[in-house]
Amino acid sequence: MQQRKFLARAQKALIKHGIIGSRAKALLEEWNDHLESEVEKLVAGGQDRESSYQDACKALGEPESLVDSAAKQLAMESWQGRNPVLSSGILSLVVFLLGILVMVAGGSLLKANFDYLSPEMIKYLVTLIDTLPWLLCLSWLAYHARKMPLGWKGLWFVTAFTAIIPSFLGFTCDSPNRTMTVFMAFLPIGSISKFIITFGLTLFFWWFQTRGKNWKMKVT
């Protein structure tokens, strides 16, 4: 059916632009309702239903063009879409710097309480503090995955930033000397694991949305 093909093309174009979830569903439902309305008008005028669908689809326009227009409109409705460099680049750096501040603050609290903590507890807290900047950037990445303000390009940029910069930031603590160190290291197993996890999560999300998810628009 012409209507089904039209909506399938529109859905494919939406996914390509990174418009997914409720936003994509709302657009598809809007276009489907518009098609149904136009078809009913044509049928009421004596035209058969199949040719009515063809004419209604032509009148609505090419699905790819509709999606292009919708993507631009959605971008302008969001401050992130209006300021892509700020939201994907500068704010990612700001989140990372906040992570460093949290790491330093956590290290300072740990240093001040050495005498009250066991070696095992210090070890666990050092691991937690070492992970904080990465976890904070993962939260920023999760926000991008949920909102998709800049489409797939923005999501993959934030993913690359999170995997490369915060993942390799390290923290050590020498309890006998009461010293702490923040450093960048590109070889430890923990850093490589963070790198793999970051890209793995985004890759699975991309696969689920573009290949694994089988959601079809219901048509009558």
pLDDT for 219 beyond 60 = no
CA gap 60, 41 in Å, rounded: 14
Confidence of residue 100 (pLDDT cuts 50, 70, 90): confident
Question: How many CB atoms lie under 10 A from the CB of residue 145?
Answer: 17
pLDDT for 193 beyond 80 = yes
Give 204 or 217, the one with higher predicted confidence: 204
Q: pLDDT tens digits for 134-187? A: 999 999 999 888 888 778 888 999 999 998 888 887 777 766 666 667 666 665
Q: Using alpha carbons, select from 31, 155, 164 the residue that is nearest to residue 84.
A: 155
**What number is the average pLDDT over the span 98-120?**
83
CB 180 within 8 A of CB 174: yes
